[in-house]
Structure 1
Amino acid sequence: MKLNRRKFITRLLVAVASIEALFLIKGSVNKVASASATNNLFNAGKASSFDTNKLYPFLTGQFFLKRFEDGGFLAMSFKCTHLGCVVNTNSQTGGFNCPCHASQFNKFGEVLSAPATRPLDYFPITIEKGELLIDTKTPIRRSSFDKSQLTYV
């Protein structure tokens, strides 16, 4: 097989373009992965600014942030686990009510009365430099409340 100058240059250009395309694709995939990891975190503010035994609604993040008596934080979804209606707070019980079908939840998001069959979903919380970062893109389904779901400073 004889290789003339035209075929050599063509093959060389195709090889260089292929290598460049691989680097471009690899770079854009890495940028998307790192950007999406930081965009998923909702910054709720300094942990020290939240009083114990209080509930804080975050409308833009669509979650309730509760700080319990022992200082633990729990971020619970606004959405009822029955059909996805937005739950309201119940100031008398400290829990939540679903206005659509009357499901009730306690302060930990556990079901008190049907038709909901499981507790409110919760979001993972990480603390960096005293700031509460809530991963609102990753709701976690649960069958009951467990103390390990709380995040401490």
Structure 2
Amino acid sequence: MSRRDFLTLGMSAVGLLGMLQMGGMTLQFLGPRRVEGEFGGLVEAGLAASFPPASVTEFPDGRFFLARTSDGGFLAVSRRCTHLGCAVSWEASQNQFACPCHGSHFDLQGDVQNPPAPRPLDTYPISVRDGVLVVDTAKAIPRDQIAPEQLLYV
């Protein structure tokens, strides 16, 4: 093998290694970020007893609302409107979620009260660990209708 062939082979290997590293960094950058306690990961909401019945608590870092119905059921409702994806807000005075973009309104459980939203707000699974409610924001659950089995009772 001549010196020229050896250098060509070596430089090709270094170039290929550099391209693989750039490709790996690009894939890591484009992939979803899963951080404990923030959106895309597990978020500890708190003790079940700390949420009064018929209340809504916002978790901005988790991008969801934790709604507790008057009968004690819990539901983690997405902040994302099902019409065009705008961020909904909770209007306590009117006891409803409101989308500022096109005027959709949703009740405490996320059911559509005023279109153009085509379906209820998505939810996230809730589990209980040592009495603490934990919401998995990595797995949004789309809904076509409201059903009692979607609520978690502790």
TM > 0.5: yes
Whole-angstrom distance in 2 between the partners of 1:58 and 1:43: 10
Q: Give the structure with higher Rg (CA).
A: 1
Kindly indicate whether residue 116 of structure 2 is the aligned counterpart of residue 120 of structure 1.
no
Task: Find the counterpart in structure 2 of residue 96 from structure 1.
Answer: 97
Whole-angstrom distance in 1 between the partners of 2:129 and 2:56: 21
Shift of 1:92: 3.5
Task: Find the counterpart in structure 2 of residue 63 from structure 1.
Answer: 64
Provide the alpha-carbon RMSD of the alignment.
1.7
Matches within 5 A, 1:3-152: 40-152=41-153
Whole-angstrom distance in 1 between the partners of 2:74 and 2:97: 17
Secondary structure (helix, strand or coil) at the match of 2:152 reads: coil
The normalised TM-score by structure 1 is 0.72
Question: Runs of 4 or more off by more than 6 Å in structure 1?
Answer: none
Secondary structure (helix, strand or coil) at the match of 1:89 reads: strand
The normalised TM-score by structure 2 is 0.72
Number of equivalences: 118
Whole-angstrom distance in 2 between the partners of 1:89 and 1:133: 21
Secondary structure (helix, strand or coil) at the match of 1:48 reads: helix
The amino acid of 2:124's aligned partner reads F
Whole-angstrom distance in 2 between the partners of 1:88 and 1:43: 21
Give the share of equivalent positions with the same residue, in percent.
45
